[in-house]
């Protein structure tokens, strides 16, 4: 069994959110932007949704071409981008490759893009 597509897990994303009030360094910003760029395409967002909603939470290219109305090479291209970004895992079974979401990937991105709650400042009694 071959698993490919752990780029997000292997890639060191910023430890702090770019919205945390501290500046994010250039390398961290570039890594995060690469993952966000992979998400910033309507077909890729639909692919994530289709795969997540599939009966076993996984799908093969052959299951995805008709719902998207795209050719197999185009769907494969989008799946490769999502896999390289670490958003999908790819498992080869014979001649077929099956894709499933990396659960922690979306959560990690969401956490990085969620501004921290502002602490309530206590007012001094009058």
- The CATH number of 2-14+25-113 is 1.10.10.10
Q: Quick one: pLDDT at residue 1?
A: 35
Residue 116 CA to residue 85 CA, distance in Å, equals 25
Residue 79 CA to residue 107 CA, distance in Å, equals 19
Mean pLDDT, each 10-residue run in order, the chain (126 residues):
41 56 75 87 95 93 93 95 93 93 83 66 56
* CA gyration radius, the chain: 18
Residue 91 CA to residue 110 CA, distance in Å, equals 25
Q: Quick one: pLDDT at residue 57?
A: 92
């Amino acid at each position: 069994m071959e698993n490919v597509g752990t780029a997000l897990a292997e890639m060191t994303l910023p430890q702090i959110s770019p919205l945390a009030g501290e500046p994010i360094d250039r390398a961290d910003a570039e890594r995060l932007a690469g993952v966000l760029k992979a998400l910033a395409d309507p077909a890729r967002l639909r692919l994530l949704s289709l795969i997540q909603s599939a009966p076993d939470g996984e799908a093969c290219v052959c299951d995805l071409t008709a719902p998207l109305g795209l050719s197999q090479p185009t769907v494969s291209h989008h799946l490769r981008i999502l896999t390289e970004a670490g958003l999908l895992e790819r498992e080869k079974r014979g001649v077929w490759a099956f894709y499933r979401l990396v659960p922690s990937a979306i959560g990690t991105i969401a956490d990085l893009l969620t501004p921290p709650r502002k602490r309530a400042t206590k007012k001094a009694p009058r």
